[in-house]
Structure 1
Amino acid sequence: MTDERSSSADAGSDARDDPASTDSSDEPGADVESSGDETDASRLSLDRFHEACQQVGRPVLTADAVARSLERSQEAVSEDLEALAEAGSVQRLSVSNDPVVWYPSELEDLTEEERVVVFPKRREIVVDRPTQFTRAQLSQFAHLADGNGEEGYRYVVRPEDVWQAPHDEFEALARTMRQALGQRSEELEEWVRSQWERARQFRLYTHEDGYTVLEAQTPEVMGNVARQKLDEEHVHAPISDTEDWVREGAEAAIKRILYEAGYPVQDHRDLDAGDALEVDLEVSLRDYQRTWVDRFAEAGEGVFVGPPGSGKTVAAMGAMAEVGGETLVLVPSRDLARQWADAVVEYTSLGPHQVGQYHGGQKNVRPVTIATYQIAGMDRHRSLFDDREWGLVIFDECQHVPSDVYRRSTHLQSQHRLGLSASPIREDDRQTEIFTLVGPPIGTDWQALFDAGFVAEPELEIRYVPWGDDEQRNAYASAEGQEKYRIAARNRGKVDEVRFLLRDHHDAKALVFVDYLAQGRELAEALDAPFLSGETPHHERRRLLDEFRRNERDLLIVSRVGDEGIDLPTADLAIVASGLGGSRRQGTQRAGRTMRPAGGALVYVLATRGSREEEFARRQLQHLGRKGMTVRERTVDREPDGEEADSSEAT
């Protein structure tokens, strides 16, 4: 029988950043009002600092966390912490990508020092017990490839990491490297210098007559690289030995082609600045969000990359306030357009009359317009967006940009371009196009956010489930290719496993994810719970999700539409009955539905034991393991009474 894959017609991608989680009263960056004049008796002592640590449950605190714990103003607490630091009672750790944190001096005696080992030929760095400072410095020029917090962190220095390093001069980057490594690695430094220079060989600029020019540093690099890779589709004719006249609309293609050749292009064009629009952000940004916005403001382009719950949407509103120009936001679905419009009105100084939506449901172009990618890419609507000069274009869920449908919207070039993504990886390996069409990644180490308490690390467990009946087991044995995965994914034994987990966590608010409509309907019937899919009308989706948010409903069955294009509420428990064999990004998003500051969340991934699905689930979740999350594995054996028998577990 032919099965239906769950619809993603209304879908976008990735977990949504819950604006409610950034309410200024809960933010580490929110000010706490003083109840009165400060007195000597109320000043911060080392004992009171220890009390704050005990209350919060962490030995390392930001000044804001201490202020909230002691119900004092942030300014006063910061002054007291400085005084304690001068006396040697506490230590401060100030880094560029993470919050400033404070900890008792004696804590240093209880921890082992970090160890950094450099492998220059492999361009790898292994760090055991890295400090926040070291991780922040490494993130400026290296990629975290593996890290679980116990066996150490493995960083790889890739060309693209050097190309996007947030430094104007190489010597500044070299100093950052030496601070992170605690030493000078001449071989690695020389290679980094060569990549730094490659990133400055080409630039696009606007000629005084209004057309775009591609300029190379030398005639040799122009002749041996650009003029070998580009043709008449991209350039009209040479202007000089180092300059070519660029065809209108070919700029994005030129940037992509030269990027793939190992030469990223500096974009210095005089692009549309857009009409001025005064925007004030009415919530406080966390320190790392402020760092994202500052790096974006300096470069004029970039992609905010962070786990679900890290506040990418609010940071994007911070970028809107920084740019101060009319803004176009592109989203995958009308559901996200509505959520964006509500969030902009709630968290900025803009009123509803200044925010418009443009999609199948309504068509209003206003100073801030939220449109779907599909509409923006259609020829009959394109002029509506082209005719208005946008100071900022935001590409939400920008991992979709390289796809043929979505990339048509990237003709909208503005002075500032910003992408948002929890996981800008693609199974077709076209993620480099994201950074050439939108901008380089700007992000924070996931583990740093876990450690700082901004995002809770969920407990993630793969559970290998036995077959529910011999009919499916025999069908799997005789099937071939993708049919094997489909049968394993729809293993009826998973219904009993979902029942067991829900009974075991009876107080939890739960989301159950499926990849197949028939499986979703079967689970919905067995559990007497609603099934939310692409076939669910928009008004019905909104009602069900609102009931879940208000705690009027504690269980939803969700299809792939939950990964793409709607803002799912936070859950205590996520059960992935099928779907993680699809993509690494999907694994990130479904696990991410529990990544919020509250903590204590659980994610269970069900895979049929001994099938291809088992292999897929293990491989795809390695991506989360490399981001610092702990992934456990358990083989399930079920007794006739439904109780769990002995099982094997591996960490």
Structure 2
Amino acid sequence: MTADETQAPDPADETAGDAASDDDPEIELDAVYDAIDAVGRPHLTATELSRKTDLTPDEAREALETLAAEGDIQRQDVADIDSVWYPADLAEVTDRERVVLFPDRREIVVEHPHQFTRAQLSQFARLQDTNRSGGYVYELREEDIWAAPHESLDDLLATMRDVLGERSPHLEEWVTSQWERARKFRLYTHEDGYVVLEAENDDLMGNVARQKLDDDHLRAPISDSESWVNADATAAVKRTLYEAGYPVRDDRELETGDALEMELRLRLRDYQADWVERFTDQGSGVFVGPPGSGKTVAAMGAMAAIGGETLILVPSRELATQWRDELVRHTTLTDDDIGEYHGGTKEIKPVTVATYRTAGMDRHRKLFDQRKWGLIVYDEVHHVPSPIHRRSADLQTKHRLGLTATPTRESDDEEEIFTLVGPPIGTDWGKLFDEGYVAEPEVEIRLVPWGSDTERSEYATTSGHGRRQAAAGNTGKIEEIQYTLEQHPAAKALVFVEYLDQGEAISEAIDVPFISGEMPHARREKLFDEFRRSERDTLLVSRVGDEGIDLPDAELAIVASGLGGSRRQGAQRAGRTMRPAGDARMVVLATRGTTEEDFVRRQMRHLASKGIRVNETESEVVETPVDGE
């Protein structure tokens, strides 16, 4: 056919119709959702869509009609205004993730965040609050930027942009200033062997360091930007400058001491090997990972990589014994290589496991100072900022390694952990959940009615700690515990309580031993061993079970009462179920209509920040009429 013979397309021709439709306005459904987000309600008009896109009002109306014909959205005609359009599935809008930044307040509000989003946010922001409708409020603080686990500023900004979906010049300028602020001072070893504090410039040394530090810290000036440091005061120097807003890098060349010959008997997981590599590159750090992720094994890998005599500091005798057993089981070390130093026994060997309390006592301290440690491991390192444990940070060592699942403290001084020991080294919790290394727990806050009118009245007439204890000891929780255990008859369960009277009452009601600090050490160990060997399937435990005790097969944790709103305690108790195999479930009981509701929500905040879904429900136990009803 020649050009003269070309015909106009037949309107009935299917191919021609398709070609003509190429000029029709089109829009993706996601763009409609984005426009709905911007409008701030679950519906919009064609005019509102046109304002949020490049379409004219007529084009927007045609695009909406096309989506309606495909069944993706629906139309509602409203008198005197444009038709209203809304998604066919409203849940796609109401439950959709939304991230809203308030740069001036340095706050990020996220509605219905995905697990990955929460994991990303935890790298540079602190979860401040959650609400029952799925909202999360994060705050960016100076110390969060200082301790961000990124190798470069560009990496940190890339993560932030990925979460926020946009650049915020105002916020990024502040983040950049804080990142640079954390690199203004450093400690290093002079070629003649003494310690030097170096500032980025003369002004910082003169107007910050020499104003904040006295003769006990600085022996003499070396130059306008350098000072000779008292080697025994390096921890105090770092702490003082940190409090002034200037974290200090520690690049000292410390002696490793005698060599330690040891090898691991098992293969590190990929992420554990990455932790060890990052630690050896940096020379110090804190392994931060969920319970069950193998931080102890990774620490053994660090010990083998360093190859120097090692001091391991722990909060309890039970944990000291566990460390010794694990070292013998998983490394080439023998009992003769390992010493324990605490109230029960006192031996210093190439690998020594000591309690924080004993190592900090003046009469024992010289023994630890005289040894040139290649590595000090701070287990449950979140204790270090406390007055009793802080003295251990002054012990001299070439390398410092902290271990914790929960670097949070209710005193909000957790930044001292990273100042005194080293920067955080960890892996996204969600990745470990997805790969099956750690079981993601199902966490449920369950609101329980009062057991009697008398208890309710006592709560109303008390205040402060008495009111909190009254809500915690609500006898209505006993029936809830019995019901929960009956619902999971095959699960190995731990029931946690805060108060001795409550523990004794529950113990009698469910016929389970109550393990507390008042129970003799030998009896406690016997009961824990029976639980490990599945000779017992339920234990009732006070705060002594929060940390430092290996209970690897627990599948159900029931929290009858807790330590106020301690986020760390909440995560530790959930961690008793977070093992690679089996189910993991945690039920936190709170007396309905009391301040305990707010306490338990706060306790679960750390878990929520790591991407774990926390659900809130009402008691399923039929409420028995209370006194006078």
- Answer whether TM exceeds 0.5 for this pair: yes
Is 1:527 aligned with 2:513?
no
Match of 1:254 in 2: 237
Is 1:279 aligned with 2:285?
no
State the shift of 1:212 in Å. Answer: 1.9
Q: Deviations over 1:145-200 (max 9, x none)?
A: 7899x979987654444434566665666677778878766555544433332222
Distance 2:506 2:583 in 1: 25
Match of 2:227 among 244, 252, 265: 244
Work out whether residues 114 and 611 of structure 2, in 8 Å CA contact, stay in contact via their aligned partners in 1. no
State the shift of 1:582 in Å. Answer: 4.8
Any stretches of 5+ residues in structure 2 without a counterpart? 1-95
State the shift of 1:336 in Å. Answer: 0.2
Q: Which amino acid aligns with 1:559?
A: S
Is 1:206 aligned with 2:189?
yes
Q: Trace 1:452-601 onto structure 2 (pairs within 5 A).
A: 452-601=435-584
Distance 2:598 2:160 in 1: 38
Distance 1:456 1:168 in 2: 29
Match of 2:433 in 1: 450
Match of 1:633 in 2: 616
Scaled by the length of structure 2, what TM-score is found?
0.77
Is 1:427 aligned with 2:398?
no
Distance 1:580 1:334 in 2: 22
Shifted more, 583-592 versus 123-132: the winner is 123-132
Q: Which amino acid aligns with 1:519?
A: Q
Match of 2:367 in 1: 384
Work out whether residues 146 and 627 of structure 1, in 8 Å CA contact, stay in contact via their aligned partners in 2. no
Match of 1:316 among 287, 299, 303: 299
Q: Which amino acid aligns with 1:477?
A: A
Match of 2:398 among 415, 432, 440: 415
Match of 1:611 among 578, 581, 594: 594
Work out whether residues 118 and 609 of structure 2, in 8 Å CA contact, stay in contact via their aligned partners in 1. no
State the shift of 1:202 in Å. Answer: 0.9
Match of 2:420 among 421, 426, 437: 437
Match of 1:163 among 120, 127, 146: 146
State the shift of 1:376 in Å. Answer: 0.4
Number of equivalences: 529
State the shift of 1:581 in Å. Answer: 2.1
Where relative contact order (Cα < 8 A, 6+ residues apart) is larger, the structure is 1
Q: Which amino acid aligns with 2:591?
A: T
Distance 1:166 1:572 in 2: 31
State the shift of 1:564 in Å. Answer: 3.5
Shifted more, 356-365 versus 139-148: the winner is 139-148
State the shift of 1:356 in Å. Answer: 1.4
Distance 2:189 2:284 in 1: 17
Match of 2:283 in 1: 300
Flag the 1:294–1:161 CA change in 2: closer, same or farther, 3 A: farther
Match of 2:180 in 1: 197
Any stretches of 5+ residues in structure 1 without a counterpart? 1-112, 643-651
Flag the 1:167–1:524 CA change in 2: closer, same or farther, 3 A: closer
Flag the 1:546–1:635 CA change in 2: closer, same or farther, 3 A: same
Match of 2:323 in 1: 340
Q: Which amino acid aligns with 1:450?
A: F
RMSD: 3.1
Scaled by the length of structure 1, what TM-score is found?
0.74
State the shift of 1:449 in Å. Answer: 2.0
Q: Which amino acid aligns with 1:611?
A: T
Secondary structure of 1:512 counterpart: strand
Work out whether residues 369 and 396 of structure 2, in 8 Å CA contact, stay in contact via their aligned partners in 1. no
Match of 1:350 in 2: 333
Flag the 1:427–1:145 CA change in 2: closer, same or farther, 3 A: closer
- State the percentage of identical aligned residues: 64
Q: Deviations over 1:93-144 (max 9, x none)?
A: xxxxxxxxxxxxxxxxxxxx99988766565678999999999887766667
State the shift of 1:437 in Å. Answer: 1.1
Distance 2:276 2:248 in 1: 22
State the shift of 1:578 in Å. Answer: 0.8
Secondary structure of 2:343 counterpart: coil
Flag the 1:253–1:553 CA change in 2: closer, same or farther, 3 A: same
Return the index of the structure with the highest Cα Rg: 2
Distance 1:196 1:366 in 2: 41
Flag the 1:146–1:471 CA change in 2: closer, same or farther, 3 A: closer
Q: Deviations over 1:376-395 (max 9, x none)?
A: 01111112211111100000
Work out whether residues 580 and 617 of structure 1, in 8 Å CA contact, stay in contact via their aligned partners in 2. no
Distance 2:489 2:119 in 1: 40
